Amino acid sequence: MDVLLIGCGRMGGAMARGWRGVHRVLVFDPMASELPEGAERVDALADVEPDGDLAVVLAVKPQIFPSIGESLRPIAARDALFVSIMAGITLQGLGDSLGSGRLVRTMPNTPAAIGQGITAAVAGRDVRMSDFATVNELLAPTGAVVWLDDERQIDAVTAVSGSGPAYFFRFTEALAKAGAQAGLSADVAMQLARATFTGAAALAGADSAELAELRQQVTSPGGTTAAGLAQMDQDDAIDRLARAVVDAAAARSRELAG
């Protein structure tokens, strides 16, 4: 299969490197000074001549898409499969621009750029059964893939996994700041906080135990961890904060999608 990558930024480039040796990779990105090894530059979309089946991965910023959507219509007319990783553009919006219903909308997150992400995908009405396996394979270099039954769930996905990395970064900042206020140097506090979060994330991914069990393994009755967790759980503070964060992000996602 030929893969046409529209936009070769950090995430698009990560995918292109994962496709090397498996697919013929064509890249359209006038702003990219260098392409991943093995990729072929396309200077004009009208020049795209696939050797066989074609999948088009839309990896540009959503505000750029309207300027190129019309140019992609002839490619869509060839029955190409389109996979969008653009935020905020619905299946209806993609179809209106491309004139094609063979569309898949996805929501990745930033760890996808290093192969450690998770992407939620939802299929348009004209997607074939074989397309699901194709999309899974195309997105494999970015990490895990989950499929949604309803496009309306994308807003919740955006709030949980799309924006989620920033929540973890922000909490790490807060933990480091608290460590400094408790007497550590700022550098040591940040080193401890960052290593703790990355190590805990790696442990959660490597261990099949439930998160509650992993938490309990660290928590001795009446110990220091229990004292800290009690502050988080007082009056359901951590649950109420998480709900408010997700609700706000999901609401903003709906607003941006129009």
H/E segment holding residue 8:
none
Burial of residue 116, with CB atoms counted within 10 A of its CB: 0-12 exposed, 13-18 middle, 19 or more buried: middle
Cross-strand bridge partners of residue 122: 105
Rg over CA atoms, the chain = 21
Co-location of 68 and 169 in the same domain: no
List strand residue ranges (DSSP E) for the chain, in order: 2-6, 24-28, 40-41, 54-58, 81-84, 103-107, 117-123, 143-147
Co-location of 113 and 216 in the same domain: no
CATH code (residue 238): 1.10.3730.10
Q: Is 61 annotated as belonging to a binding site?
A: yes
What is d(CA 40, CA 5) in angstroms, rounded to the nearest whole number? 10
Boundary-marking domain end, from 127, 157, 187:
157
Boundary-marking domain end, from 100, 127, 157:
157
Query: How far is residue 39 from each of residues 17, 25, 78, 194, measured CA to CA in Å?
Result: 8, 5, 22, 35
Co-location of 147 and 170 in the same domain: no
Question: The pTM is what?
Answer: 0.89
Question: In total, how many domains does the chain have?
Answer: 2
Co-location of 220 and 169 in the same domain: yes
Boundary-marking domain end, from 157, 179, 209:
157
Residue 250 burial (CB count, 10 A): 20
What is d(CA 26, CA 51) in angstroms, rounded to the nearest whole number? 11
Co-location of 97 and 219 in the same domain: no
Torsion 203-9-68-139 (CA) sign: negative
Co-location of 186 and 218 in the same domain: yes
Q: Is 11 annotated as belonging to a binding site?
A: yes
Place of tokens 């064509």: 26
The whole-number pLDDT of residue 51 equals 76
What is d(CA 183, CA 240) in angstroms, rounded to the nearest whole number? 30
What is d(CA 228, CA 81) in angstroms, rounded to the nearest whole number? 50
Co-location of 6 and 76 in the same domain: yes
Q: Is 62 annotated as belonging to a binding site?
A: yes
Closest CA to 155 of 203, 90, 73: 90
State how beta strands 40-41 and 103-107 pair: unpaired
Q: Is 10 annotated as belonging to a binding site?
A: yes
pLDDT averaged over every residue in the chain: 94
Co-location of 39 and 131 in the same domain: yes
What's the pLDDT tens digit per position in 144-184?
999 999 999 999 999 999 999 999 999 999 999 999 999 99
Token readout for 57 is 């991965």
Q: Is 154 annotated as belonging to a binding site?
A: no
Domain that includes residue 102, residue range: 2-157
Query: How far is residue 143 from each of residues 14, 108, 124, 236, measured CA to CA in Å?
Result: 11, 9, 22, 33
Co-location of 203 and 141 in the same domain: no
SS3 80: coil
Confidence of residue 257 (pLDDT cuts 50, 70, 90): confident
Q: Is 59 annotated as belonging to a binding site?
A: yes
Co-location of 19 and 127 in the same domain: yes
Co-location of 28 and 123 in the same domain: yes
What's the pLDDT tens digit per position in 194-223?
999 999 999 999 989 999 999 999 999 999
pLDDT at 101 over 80: no
CATH code (residue 129): 3.40.50.720
Co-location of 41 and 98 in the same domain: yes
